[in-house]
Structure formats: C-alpha cells, structure tokens
Amino acid sequence: MLYNADCLNILQKLIDDGVQVDSVVTDPPYHLQSIVDRFGKTSVDDDTYTSEKVRNGADGYSRLIRTGFMGQEWDGGDIAFRKETWELALKLMKPGGHLLAFSASRNYHRMAVAIEDAGFEIRDQLMWLYGTGFPKSLNLGDGWGTALKPAHEPIVMARKLIEGTNKNNKEKYGTGGINIDGCRIEGDTNLKTRVRKAGSEFGQNSGWNDHKNVDTIYDPSKGRFPANVIHDGLKEDWARYFYCPKVSKSEKGESNSHPTVKPIALMRYLCRLVTPKGGTVIDPFMGSGSTGIACKEEGFEFIGIEREKEYFEIAEKRISYSSQQKDLFKY
C-alpha cells in the first residue's frame, strides 16, 4: 500500500487500524542546514539557540528553516529529529522489530538520540562506504577548504524491546533477530565465526537460524558472517563486506528527480537483514520507492508513505513496474 500523505498522519491511522509491521527501513530527510540557517545566528552560544523557538522543535525553529539538502524545501524542518516521529513507528512495530534509518554524518547523532528517546534500543551503526562522493568544500585559497570529501552514510540500527528472551520473542512474533545466513558475504571462507548458544551469558542466537545446536561454528561454505560495513567496490580486504555501489543512472531512471535515490540491491539487503520471511516493511519517507521495489523482489509486504506528490508518483510508477500486483496502491 502506498500513501501520498504526511507520514505522521498515516502512521497514526495505521496504529488506530491495528496494523503491525515487522520492520522499518527508511531514508528520512537529512535536514542538512547550517546553524545559521536554523537559528539565524552564527554562534551556538547566542540566546537564540536556547530560546523557546528552538526548544519547541516543530513549532519553533523548523519554521525558520526554508530549504535543506540541495536546496530542497522538503529537507527543511526537523521530522527525523523529533521523538514523536519515532514513537509512532515504535507503536506500529511488533516486539523485537528492527528499524534501519539512513542519516548524514554531521547530524546522525540528533536522529539517533530521537530514536533512542522514543523507546528504541540502539543496536548498531551500519556504515555504507563509497568512493564516489563529491567534495562540497568551499575553496579558501592556499590549499585550504571547509569540508572533507564525503565517503560514507551512517545507518541507525535500532530495535523495539523484546518480550522475554530473544528466542521466545522470535518464536512468538518472528522478530527480534537478524537474518545472518540470508545476508552472508560470498568470498574467502577460511575464517570461521563462533556463535554462542542461545540463553548463554552474552545473549541468545541473533539470526533466523533454527539450528538445534547453535553453539557451533557456522558452515563456512555459506560465506562470511555479515558485518556492519557495506562498501561500493573497494579491493582486497574489503571483499569480506557486502558490496553495493551507488545507484546508476539506468537504475534511477531518466525521469527520477529525487536527489538521494538508494540502490535497490542495498535496500534488498537491509530489508532481508531485519525482516522475517513474508513480513511487512514500512517506509515512512518513501522517496522514489527503492525500498518498495526491494520488498517486492524479496517477497515482503510493503507500506510506503511519501508526502511530496512528485516523488510519490515516481515511486508509484517504479514499484508498479516491478510488481504484477494490481491492488498494491492505496490513495
């Protein structure tokens, strides 16, 4: 189901309707404004920074923000930094459900804190490394600039609190773990990984694996244990991590005007990592629909929400093209 609407309204509607999802995989606005853009001042010590306008969040400083990433107005505001956004996502999820959310390196912390304050347990930070980032540094002369070349995007991995033990939660809801065997990395398998037995001192089995004796070394023929690093084609030792380049022009499509399209292969990997077989994924910030396409290709149910009509229509076409289901869309 796809919704062309404000995600906060739809999330609340889904909660009221009794909908539950297994995971949230999303790429929300990055809110890449400077301190000057946010607060109209050049110093965080200024009274404006601690004023009532700032403390009030959406009712305060977001009104001062005009545009964000690449001059896009939709990147203004603070929806990804607001606790109530993630509280709604939390209420919609099954116990043990995972949240994966992209962010930008310079304000990742603000989103992560909001997610944690909403009641999620921060489990990890995934790093998508790439070599094709474009420097956005102002040339000050004499070899000096103002910024480094971007080479990674951080991804928050968080989890709704489980009921009882990890193993019991997975048996009851299908959630709580991550799909280790389904996300193993092909390549050199000489290195073996030992996993503790369920219920041991440091926790339960963290995969979907149904091995009766989980205190074993996994079969190395299945590939390397998945790591919290994803890369775009680096050589040698990087081959042990999941490979995913940035989106190509052909994959993005000529008519796709969204500036931060994510590769379908990356979204398939992330959805597969945290969603049980046949589960439901929701993306409150759907953009041009890569998560939806990934879900259809992985066999997951998908709920997508996108406020901007231009991007909603792009997502609708892209997902429709990749799916033969006629009743996928809801307006």
The pLDDT score that the predictor gives to residue 124 is 97
Higher local confidence (pLDDT), 177 or 186: 177
The pLDDT score that the predictor gives to residue 326 is 42
The pLDDT score that the predictor gives to residue 190 is 53
In the chain, the percentage of residues whose pLDDT exceeds 90 is 43
Tens-digit pLDDT profile for residues 106-130 = 889 999 999 999 999 999 999 998 8
| Average pLDDT score over residue span 261-272 | 90
Higher local confidence (pLDDT), 14 or 225: 14
C-alpha separations of 48 from 39, 78, 212 in Å: 7, 17, 60
Please report the sign of the dihedral spanned by the C-alpha atoms of residue 287, residue 89, residue 229, residue 225.
Answer: negative
Q: Is the pLDDT of residue 70 over 60?
A: no
Q: Is the pLDDT of residue 39 over 70?
A: no
Report domain extents, the chain: 2-32+73-178+226-322, 38-67, 185-225
In the chain, the percentage of residues whose pLDDT exceeds 70 is 69
CA-based Rg of the chain, rounded to a whole angstrom? 21
Query: Could you tell me if residue 208 is left (phi over 0), alpha (psi between -120 and 50 degrees) or otherwise beta?
Result: alpha
Q: Within its chain, how far is the Cα of 200 from the centroid? A: 30
2-32+73-178+226-322: CATH class = alpha beta
pTM for the complete prediction?
Answer: 0.73
Tens-digit pLDDT profile for residues 188-229 = 545 555 555 444 433 344 444 444 444 333 556 777 888 898
Q: How far apart are the first and last CA of the chain?
A: 8
Please report the sign of the dihedral spanned by the C-alpha atoms of residue 187, residue 214, residue 175, residue 129.
Answer: negative
The pLDDT score that the predictor gives to residue 166 is 95
Residue 74's pLDDT band (boundaries 50, 70, 90)? very low
Write out the two tokens for 318. Answer: 């892209």
β-bridge pairing 93-102 and 152-159: antiparallel
Q: Is the pLDDT of residue 271 over 70?
A: yes
